[in-house]
Amino acid sequence: MSEANLNEPVDVLIIGAGASGAAVAWSLADTRMRIVCLEQGDWMKPSEYPTNGTDWEIQQHGPFNIDPNIRQRDTDYPINNDESPINVVNFNGVGGGTVLYAAHFPRLHPSDFKVKSLDGVADDWPISYDTLDPYFNQNDRMMGVSGLAGDPMYPPKQPPLPPIPMGLVGEKLASGYNKLGWHWWPSDSAIITRPYEGRDKCLNLGPCTSGCSQGAKSSTDITYWPQAIRAGVELRTRCRVREITLAENGMAEGVIYYDEHGNECHQKAEVVVMACNGVGTPRILLNSKSSKFPDGLANSSGLLGKNLMFHPVAFSQGVFEERLDSHKGPQGCCILSKEFYETDLSRGFVRGYNMQITRGTGPFNTAIQGYASGQIPWGPDHHKAFQRRFDHVASVAVLCEDLPELHNTVTLDPELVDSDGIPAAKINYTLSENSKKMLKHGVDRAEQVLAAAGAVEISSAELVQSAGWHLLGTARMGADPNTSVVNSWGRSHDVKNLFIVDGSIFVTAGGLNPTSTIQALALYIADTMKKNLANLFD
């Protein structure tokens, strides 16, 4: 494949090669337009993932840490979390967050798109579940998703592959849910349970959040990207975008980026697509200042970087007498419950949460986390306490819907910069009263189900700090340019050749993991672009 002349304009320039960037690149490839993607990180090598070595758990604390401030690869950028009780976690490389994600892959519910109409809070999305339904299905096929049809909490859907084994952990918790008469279902997971599209099935190694050596976890570097590249898309790694430049006619002209040697480069494009996630996208747009947009590109609404939503997470762990083989099998994917997903005002809060059953950790992490929590002491009692917990735990992660609030923001840090001198992102976030009540309710219910399942000891954390996995809402979509940054198909209201396709454009967050919906949205936007190619900028 020939390298693009850096000065030669391309048709479409995508920034970010993560979950959404990959999907949009693949979908647009069949237009035969000249498409280039700039990604600040590297291609990953599965042979370098931690599970290839005996020190796999130690590496999770270093080069494969989920927190970029701890990981500190030179492809990472720092994030100032000082004003937030939740830390942003991510991965910067081809595949983006999907390299380290747990691959729990539920879709938003139909109700999630219409919370204003249904519950009188936040805003409705300008699109519905039905709009995205074909793209959810297309994405499930492209990624390789496992699950079980028939969940009454969803409209009919058919995952292409059979579900992840529940294991003893799932069975135990399922019996607890059944005792209480609560909903549960095997999780949809972006992990293949049968050989699929040239990839081998999951080996139940466990620590999916440090990268999958087997290639069974569907990260976009091994799903969308190989196909997009075969179809002619050019992906340039180690290219970090600093800003988007504006032409005199008010359209995006291209970008300025630093290549791997730190050289400043200019890439012009007819269309610019942002796919840097809910923190990275507002960061670069806020850094793209001009006389026309002194507060950041595409920010005439003033909403860029505002309404940041995470999913606040609480965590309860139960210890069981029986051995549950907890450290085996995909750690984050097992079963889930939607019993408390929808609004019931008698609970004292609006909207709801999903309960995600997670498996246990490996030996070292069991010991070191037990030391930190005081549950596994050093000294003569160490072995007894260790053996009581190791392979004997099951956990419930309570993942709460976060409502959009203007004061939860991504801004540019006035001092902190990355290795290229680009201002870092600064997070200002406070937990709402609604979220606090929801977390409390969730912990109570998680403890109840663990007890019903037979746990002999239960401990809980009402807010997990390192759980800023889901980065949403900072460039929301909507019909009104005064109250949204992009329109119903991801096009900036202000700059007609600028699109955003990542989690920033979520209007509300739902109460579950967002990547399936992020990618369905990216495919929908790409498809809408293709249908409107003749009058894309009208």
Ligand X SMILES: Cc1cc2nc3c(=O)[nH]c(=O)nc-3n(C[C@H](O)[C@H](O)[C@H](O)COP(=O)(O)OP(=O)(O)OC[C@H]3O[C@@H](n4cnc5c(N)ncnc54)[C@H](O)[C@@H]3O)c2cc1C
Binding footprint of another protein on the chain (CB under 8 A): 49, 51-58, 109-111, 113-114, 117-118, 128-130, 148, 150, 152-155, 163, 165-168, 170-171, 174-175, 177-178, 181, 183-186, 203-207, 213-214, 323, 325, 327-329, 342, 362-364, 367-368, 371, 378-380, 382-383, 386-387, 390-391
By CB under 6 A, tell whether 506 contacts ligand X. no
Binding mask 280-319 for ligand SF4 (x = CB under 6 A): ----------------------------------------
The entry of ligand SF4, another protein, ligand X, none that residue 171 binds, CB within 5 to 8 Å by partner kind: another protein
- From CA 470, how far away is CA 6, in angstroms rounded? 34
Tell me which residue has its CB nearest to ligand X: 18
Binding mask 205-224 for ligand SF4 (x = CB under 6 A): xx-x---x-x-xx-------
- From CA 99, how far away is CA 220, in angstroms rounded? 8
Q: 198 in helix, strand or coil?
A: coil
Q: Is 428 exposed, middle or buried (0-12, 13-18, 19+ CB in 10 A)?
A: middle
Please report how close the Cβ of residue 212 comes to ligand SF4 at its closest, in angstroms.
3
CB 396, CB 357: distance < 8 Å: yes
CB 315, CB 395: distance < 8 Å: yes
User: What's the angle, vertex CA 347, arms to CA 346 and CA 349, rounded to 5?
Assistant: 105
Residue that has been written with the tokens 């492809």 in this structure: 75
By CB under 6 A, tell whether 90 contacts ligand X. yes
Binding mask 307-346 for ligand X (x = CB under 6 A): -------------------------x--------------
Please report how close the Cβ of residue 253 comes to another protein at its closest, in angstroms.
38
Answer for which of 44, 99, 191, 431 binds ligand SF4 (CB under 6 A) is: 191
379 token code pair: 């000294």
| Contacting residues for 479 by C-beta, under 8 A, at least 6 apart | 126, 487, 488
Tell me 383's DSSP state.
H
Please report how close the Cβ of residue 344 comes to another protein at its closest, in angstroms.
11
CB 320, CB 167: distance < 8 Å: no
Q: Is 11 exposed, middle or buried (0-12, 13-18, 19+ CB in 10 A)?
A: middle
By CB under 6 A, tell whether 40 contacts ligand X. yes
Amino acid at the residue 228? A
The entry of ligand SF4, ligand X, another protein, none that residue 518 binds, CB within 5 to 8 Å by partner kind: ligand X
Please report how close the Cβ of residue 476 comes to another protein at its closest, in angstroms.
18
Element (H, E) at 410: strand 409-417
Q: 415 in helix, strand or coil?
A: strand
Answer for which of 36, 41, 319, 464 binds ligand X (CB under 6 A) is: 41
Please report how close the Cβ of residue 97 comes to ligand X at its closest, in angstroms.
2
The entry of ligand SF4, ligand X, another protein, none that residue 20 binds, CB within 5 to 8 Å by partner kind: ligand X
- From CA 368, how far away is CA 361, in angstroms rounded? 10
What's the per-residue H, E or C state across 111-127?
Answer: HHHEHHHHHCCCCECCC
Tell me 164's DSSP state.
P
By CB under 6 A, tell whether 190 contacts ligand SF4. no
Tell me 209's DSSP state.
G
Q: Which stretch binds ligand X (CB under 6 A): 88-96, 118-126, 134-142, 395-403?
A: 88-96
By CB under 6 A, tell whether 507 contacts ligand X. no
- Residue count, binding to ligand SF4 (CB under 6 A): 12
Q: Using alpha carbons, list the distances in angstroms from residue 413 to 252, 410, 426, 476.
A: 24, 9, 5, 22
Answer for which of 59, 84, 277, 508 binds ligand X (CB under 6 A) is: 277
By CB under 6 A, tell whether 44 contacts ligand SF4. no
| Contacting residues for 87 by C-beta, under 8 A, at least 6 apart | 67, 69, 79, 81, 465, 466, 467, 468
| Contacting residues for 57 by C-beta, under 8 A, at least 6 apart | 50, 207, 361, 362, 363, 364, 365
The entry of another protein, ligand SF4, ligand X, none that residue 104 binds, CB within 5 to 8 Å by partner kind: ligand X
By CB under 6 A, tell whether 147 contacts ligand SF4. no
Answer for which of 26, 49, 56, 97 binds ligand X (CB under 6 A) is: 97
The entry of another protein, ligand SF4, ligand X, none that residue 153 binds, CB within 5 to 8 Å by partner kind: another protein
- From CA 256, how far away is CA 93, in angstroms rounded? 19
Q: Dihedral of CA 441/444/450/454: which sign?
A: negative
User: What residues does 264 pair with on adjacent strands?
Assistant: 258
Could you tell me how far CA 43 lies from the centroid of its own chain? Answer: 19
Tell me which residue has its CB nearest to ligand SF4: 205
302 token code pair: 């003033």
The entry of ligand SF4, ligand X, another protein, none that residue 208 binds, CB within 5 to 8 Å by partner kind: ligand SF4
User: What residues does 399 pair with on adjacent strands?
Assistant: 313, 354
Answer for which of 13, 19, 164, 174 binds ligand X (CB under 6 A) is: 19
- Judged by CB, which is closer to ligand SF4: 188, or 447? 188
List residues binding ligand X (CB under 6 A): 15-21, 38-41, 66, 89-93, 96-98, 100-105, 209, 240-241, 275-277, 280, 284, 332, 469-470, 502-503, 513-515, 518
List residues binding ligand SF4 (CB under 6 A): 191, 202-206, 208, 212, 214, 216-217, 330
